[in-house]
Amino acid sequence: MVISKHPSKLSLPLTNPGVTTVLEYLIIKFPYVDPQIWQQRVTDGKVHCHDGSLITAQSLFQAQQRIYYYREVESEPSVPFKETILFQDEHILVADKPHFLAVIPGGIYVNECLQNRLRHSTGIEGLQAVHRLDRVTAGLVIFSVNPDTRHHYHHLFATRQIHKTYQAIANTNGDEDLIGQAWEIKNRIVPSEPRFHMRVVEGEANSHSVIRCVQQSTQKALFELNPVTGKTHQLRVHMQALGWPILNDQYYPILHPPAADNYSSPLQLLAKELQFIDPITQRPRHFSSDKNLLL
């Protein structure tokens, strides 16, 4: 059994969804976790409140109460690729993430994630990611070093004050010269079934990307992608909408059955650059991944 070294936390919602106890809420909040697992965690003292007091099977639901628990799995894979620290000061750390490594714990990954690796290598236990990348996407991730200034960097992403540039490779038929062409994609993306799989529906747009082709061979093309919004799987869905799903994508256009990672065929999507005005120093920041996608 692999148990997380750091607690996960959640705040109980303001509106009670029709439960009496915290345990009942955890069971409906996480439908893919067997109820007996939550019951055992509570019995073993692995769920507690912000003040450290333990949650029991009888603990009553209290709106906005913060709950802490420790994720656990039978075993977790070790990702055989290394991250690189590109920049660090007293406020932020910028890391270059490899493909297949989660940013934070999730699914079968409890301790094997970028955040935990960096906490271990830097000794900064409070290090926290201020945004996310898909596990299968490589590239730049910003972490907050100082809890007192963390909210300023969260605000940059929330208010779209960070310019993000990605690279992606897709198969093309080679009949059309795409180099220099650009596309502005605006549509409405919502969860489908299963919920991690997104789809485009009619309605007011909630996603926006600008995509252009920068290089092309007989069968493939390299695209530069600038997401304006940050919806889940946005770039993957938008490339599919253009008719060029990203190479080695296991979700789009067809959701493949769960399988072990094929390290020789990573998703050809890279978070290449981040540009913003630092909210603390007011200086321009420009970070670029050491990686490149090659046709």
Sign of CA dihedral 26, 132, 251, 256: negative
Residue with tokens 């890391």: 95
* CA 276 – CA 283 distance, rounded (Å): 8
Tokens of 55: 């949650």
Those residues whose C-beta lies under 8 Å from the C-beta of residue 169, and which sit 6 or more positions away, are: 220, 221, 222, 223, 246, 247, 268, 293, 295
Q: Read off φ and ψ for residue 248, nearest 5 degrees.
A: 70, 20
Of the candidates 244, 194, 174, 147, the residue with the CA atom closest to the CA atom of residue 31: 194
Q: Do 212 and 176 touch, CB atoms closer than 8 A?
A: no
* CA 238 – CA 233 distance, rounded (Å): 9
Active site annotation includes 278: no
Catalytic-labelled residue, pool 134, 148, 249, 290? 134
* CA 129 – CA 52 distance, rounded (Å): 24
Q: Do 275 and 257 touch, CB atoms closer than 8 A?
A: no
Q: Residue 234: helix, strand or coil by DSSP?
A: helix
Catalytic residue set: 134
